[in-house]
Structure 1
């Protein structure tokens, strides 16, 4: 017999993998914090559920965490919580996680990653006073669910251009975590950017795993071995869209004395001293900004709704300039391409 929601939530809470703080249980009423017009920001309760790989991936999820930290520090929100995924979890687990936060009176609930689309569709209508937001997937028609989506292909185009400029062999690589439509956008933009700079460049493309196997986003060893295969074929600059598995890609690049382009976060900043010289740049994705802006809109009593899009033109995506030694000689070229994309002079594909 299927468990009731109450039984399932009790089991989730007892398991302890959510890490929900004890103070989050004061309400006990679903959505009781939804009346945000009268709420001070400090009274808000903000919860965030990570995608595969969780916090510590030095990429996508860590960017979301920075946004949550900013919510806490700059809005003065006293109760925030970030929730880790369980190993091998199903949509049912995500439903339980989202429902638990809603039942415990969270005013804002973020689902980080496209995998939360179906769970959000199920849970959000049940808690109309809770402000839900999903990153990386467009879900329309639910009043209290906002989609925060990015022009990943535009940032990837700049990553591909940078790789082409830095490649000595005119041979580069892309390592995707899981072959999903979202990560295919990364591949499409990267290849287009590289070919814009060097039309006859050779681009290796590999995916670590295929759906429904999501290990390609969380296994550094698989990222390392996949990257090594491309390096062994002669690629000398690698870019990834592989989440936590991307740390393995960077390790392989360093071992081969090649070059690396990071994704979503500035991976030069979180690289080791040994790794830093190998990180040319990173394709930046403002998940942190999107999380903060959505929470701010709720705090102001005017929650963003529908689909919120972030692209190069509005600074929602970009490229990193932290490694000044590597970026100095190509920064003007990348800025010119960036402006051409923002002005619509270059149309970046979303499919390979």
Structure 2
């Protein structure tokens, strides 16, 4: 059986960067179903590639951890600005013997199905992509979807925002107006209104569906967030990939707060002034999912043609606590978390 790409998120962020990055690394150790020297992990990033301080970086961290545990090597590739070379990059990795090949982001949906059919002996995984296409067609029995219950983690982000807001108005800035990012919006709005039915939630997307520039336009994100803060919002949740820095900059200028996404962005930003405004981050543990998937591959336990779901119960999503900004409301957040796990709260996936 085979499997395929993971990485998210958002998840999930797209926009574009260099074309093919030949950089690779290696590590010692090893063991499992595949000999350590045979393990060659191929990573095909979403737009921007490594250095997005978000889910591309998280995917890399997962691959790096797998190499440290099992030995082997990896290769990274990043699509060009318009993403037109995605299929070529996936095929290139497979042709060069990288296996498994992990694609990061929903933009690989139809592309990975075509490439997987051409390389039936390669195991593929897709972060933020199901093993099925929207019409229900399987991408192949050598493709595994690494899926995250982003709506659940975003619900908790909405709870935190509503509990911490002093103005009764909060905001959401999405990178691209597509169903995946709308899942974050839906959870965030549901969590906030569960705590405060009268809260106002301002929503803006940087770019429309089909235009992935919204994941790499921090200047535009800053303008949108500034408008929200000027309008009375005191906390803004950004789900915008590389554009998220603009939201943090707007929060710092307004003396307000922001919520990060995918990684613990309190720990990934360089500027202490920006770090100080990041109240929490909605975590999508792409790193854990990638490491676990590679481990299953090494052990020969990958079952292709299926999805692996990472949710609150499995700690696949959650909220970062670095900085201590939400320590005083942690008990309430934990209560809502348990209600979701128990099924007492069903979180919507559409706004």
Relative to the length of structure 1, the TM-score reads 0.88
User: Within 5 A, what are the aligned runs for 1:203-218?
Assistant: 203-218=201-216
Q: Which residue, 77, 80, 102 being the options, matches 1:110?
A: 102
Indicate the residue corresponding to 1:133 in structure 2: 125
1:23: Cα distance to partner? Answer: 10
Indicate the residue corresponding to 1:31 in structure 2: none
Indicate the residue corresponding to 1:9 in structure 2: none
Matched residue SS, 1:302:
coil
Cα 1:330/1:38, change in 2 over 3 Å: closer
Whether 1:67 and 2:45 are equivalent positions in the alignment is no
1:157-195 deviation per Cα after TM superposition (whole angstroms, max 9, x unaligned) = 000111111111010000000000000000000000000
Q: How many residues align?
A: 322
User: Within 5 A, what are the aligned runs for 1:307-346?
Assistant: 307-324=307-324, 326-346=325-345
1:129-153 deviation per Cα after TM superposition (whole angstroms, max 9, x unaligned) = 1110011121233110000001000
Whether 1:45 and 2:40 are equivalent positions in the alignment is yes
Q: Give the whole-Å Cα distance in 2 for the aligned partners of 1:304 and 1:257.
A: 49
Q: Give the whole-Å Cα distance in 2 for the aligned partners of 1:130 and 1:217.
A: 30
CA contact (8 A) 2:39 2:71 kept: no
More RCO (CA 8 Å, sep 6+):
2
Indicate the residue corresponding to 2:21 in structure 1: 19
Cα 1:281/1:38, change in 2 over 3 Å: closer
Relative to the length of structure 2, the TM-score reads 0.88
1:14-42 deviation per Cα after TM superposition (whole angstroms, max 9, x unaligned) = xx931235999xxxxxxxxxxx9863134
Whether 1:120 and 2:112 are equivalent positions in the alignment is yes
CA contact (8 A) 1:222 1:248 kept: yes
Indicate the residue corresponding to 1:191 in structure 2: 189
Indicate the residue corresponding to 1:82 in structure 2: 76
1:328: Cα distance to partner? Answer: 1.3
User: Within 5 A, what are the aligned runs for 1:243-254?
Assistant: 243-254=241-252
1:280: Cα distance to partner? Answer: 1.0
Matched residue SS, 2:204:
strand
Aligned residues: CA RMSD: 1.7
1:54: Cα distance to partner? Answer: 1.6
User: Within 5 A, what are the aligned runs for 1:175-324?
Assistant: 175-271=173-269, 272-305=271-304, 306-324=306-324
Q: Give the whole-Å Cα distance in 1 for the aligned partners of 2:24 and 2:197.
A: 57
CA contact (8 A) 1:174 1:205 kept: yes
CA contact (8 A) 2:25 2:75 kept: no
CA contact (8 A) 1:298 1:304 kept: no
Q: Of the two, which has the highest radius of gyration?
A: 1
Q: Give the whole-Å Cα distance in 2 for the aligned partners of 1:151 and 1:18.
A: 31
1:294: Cα distance to partner? Answer: 0.7
Q: Give the whole-Å Cα distance in 2 for the aligned partners of 1:22 and 1:213.
A: 30
CA contact (8 A) 1:42 1:75 kept: no
1:257-316 deviation per Cα after TM superposition (whole angstroms, max 9, x unaligned) = 100111111011113322222111111001111111111111111114311111001111
